[in-house]
Structure 1
Amino acid sequence: MDTANKQIEQQITVLLRRVQRIHLSTTSGDVNLERSAYGIMCKLADEGPQRLGALAVAFGLDPSTITRQVQALEEIGLADRKTDPSDRRASILDLTATGRQVLDETRARRRSRLQSALSDWPEADLTDFGRLLKEFNASLDRLLEESTPPR
């Protein structure tokens, strides 16, 4: 397991570098999304409107940091906040129509790059890879939940 652990850690490090390069190569057009903005936008698109506090917890960030990142999205018209109807003291963030369009275009470019990179993989390997990535992320979520002190 020690050898496998070392290889996994090394490959994750390589993956992180590649992800940054993919991010830079697929951000084009009028809007250049920061990685943090892309992550927030994906979460909103995939899971629906969110309170800023929930976003801070999800990304493991201080509320002031997530607030700054959200303000940047709001300033360029990609997201907006509305009063939470269940608690008028809180606000909920969602994507604007422009934000959804920018995200859809960016995701399409990224998925096209991934499809090119994986075009010679057998379908069974793609299915296994997706399943294993999902399991890996779930394992990381459990580990982080266990090691994160309550707020």
Structure 2
Amino acid sequence: MVEDDVVARERALNALDCAAGAMVQRANRVHLYGEMLRAAGLAVEDALYPVINAVAALGPARVADVSATAGIGPTTGSRHLSQLERLGVVRRTADPADARVALVELTPHGRRIAERLRDSRRRIFAELVSDWSDAEVERFSRQLQRFVDRIAERRAR
């Protein structure tokens, strides 16, 4: 790489660092999780949003797998799942392969909540990119998915 290319790459990486950091901070600061939960008809703490999404994505799964997917520790995951169980969003069943192990899955009510969360998320995202062309949305979605896939690959190593 020539020096101009190195400088341009550093500038681009700095911009990525700033944008990714700001995305996470602003998403938390503007309480998008809470907004989506309320739109889905569930008045609970924002921290339950990734847990519901994890159960929805995984289907019947162990608490440890739900917690890992949600990016939280197993103790916190268990506590959040207990709260969601009390609300009728999830239920625990015995693992057919090992009756000592509990699996967590969405209840019919939980599936409706997850669907409303997905609809709410899509409405919010549509609003955020309302002035983008279809090509811009498609290109951004493709690049963002590529970035997320790389994060997942790194975690798997």
1:98 aligns with 2:98: no
Gaps in structure 2 of 5+ consecutive residues = 1-8
Percent of matched pairs sharing the same residue: 24
Larger RCO (CA within 8 A; separation ≥ 6): 1
Aligned partner of residue 120 in structure 1, secondary structure: coil
In 2, Cα distance between equivalents of 1:116 and 1:58 = 27
Which of 64, 68, 71 is the equivalent residue of 1:53? 64
Which of 66, 69, 74 is the equivalent residue of 1:63? 74
Given the two structures, how large is their TM-score scaled by the length of structure 1? 0.85
Aligned partner of residue 27 in structure 1, secondary structure: helix
Residues 1:55 and 1:25: Cα distance change in structure 2 (over 3 Å):
closer
Do the aligned residues in 2 keep the contact of 1:38 with 1:103 (CA within 8 Å)? no
1:5 aligns with 2:13: yes
Do the aligned residues in 2 keep the contact of 1:82 with 1:91 (CA within 8 Å)? yes
Which of 80, 88, 103 is the equivalent residue of 2:91? 80
The alignment covers a number of residue pairs equal to 146
In 2, Cα distance between equivalents of 1:98 and 1:110 = 18
In 2, Cα distance between equivalents of 1:60 and 1:98 = 24
Deviates more, 1:132-141 or 1:38-47: 38-47
1:19 aligns with 2:27: yes
Q: CA RMSD in A?
A: 1.9
Q: How big is the shift at 1:68?
A: 1.0
Larger Rg: 2
Q: How big is the shift at 1:106?
A: 2.5
Gaps in structure 1 of 5+ consecutive residues = 147-151
Q: Which residue of 2 aligns with 1:133?
A: 144
